[in-house]
Amino acid sequence: MKKILLIFICIFSIGFVSSFGYMISHLFTPVQQDIVATVCIDPGHGGYDSGAIGNDGTYEKDIALEVSLRIGSMISKMDPSIQIIYTRQSDVISWPENESKDLKARVDIGQRADFYISIHCNSNESTDMSGYCFYIKETDTQSRRICQSISDHLKKFHYSSNNGIESTNVQSLYVVDQLDIPSILFEIGYISNDNECKKMQSWLIQNIIAYSTSKAIVDQIHKIYS
């Protein structure tokens, strides 16, 4: 536990120093950042659609939003040249209360980006099920690398179990399959598992998931565009 806390403190120390240094440098030398790449972050569900509901009444849409906003914020701090767009930034949605129009709207927004990630919580009738997993297109090698990197980081923090990378050839997912860019649907844990549901609501776990995801995405973008 002490090791995890030390790693976490280091993450936030690095984040604070880099953010402070960036702010100070821009006070004296204003520089227009060129956009290297755009990442679309899609908090699953929202508005009329609560998504899965935990035994304590927690909505999937709320956890997905919190984690998504943290991911966007961390990516921007790690590299301000990476532009962030969201499908939603609150519980207010910009599309009709209709599932097909909902999915299409998310894809339309995603098409404006170079990378897309949708954040969700899993659910199962068995309350013992736990762990995280990813869904990508079978031939999407860039997303596969990002997913592997996320899981490598999460492993360092001893966060839950890695249930692997699933292909949408097995389970079709509209928001992944309809995008022609690297696209990931990330199930960060089981809301139906009381213990995991509680963890996913904590600021510590949300930051661990957000950091692991952000670092993996930024590293992959740097490999491509550097």
Q: Read off the pLDDT of residues 27-58 as tens digits, 9 standing for 90 and up.
A: 444 455 799 999 999 999 999 999 999 999 99
7: pLDDT confidence band, cut at 50, 70 and 90?
low
Percent of the chain with pLDDT over 90: 85
The answer on pLDDT for 17 being more than 50 is no
pLDDT (average), residues 84-112: 97
User: Is residue 48 within 8 Å of 88, Cβ to Cβ?
Assistant: no
The pLDDT value given to residue 32:
58
- Mean per-residue pLDDT for 182-197? 98
Give the model's pLDDT for residue 119.
98
- Mean pLDDT of the 130-142 span: 98
Judged against a pLDDT cut of 80, whether residue 8 lies above it is answered with: no
Q: State residue 159's pLDDT score.
A: 95
pTM over 0.75: yes
Quick one: pLDDT band at residue 226, thresholds 50, 70, 90? Answer: confident
The stretch 132-147 carries a mean pLDDT of: 98
* pLDDT value of position 124: 98
Distance of CA 1 to the CA centre of its chain: 24
What mean pLDDT do residues 186-208 have? 98
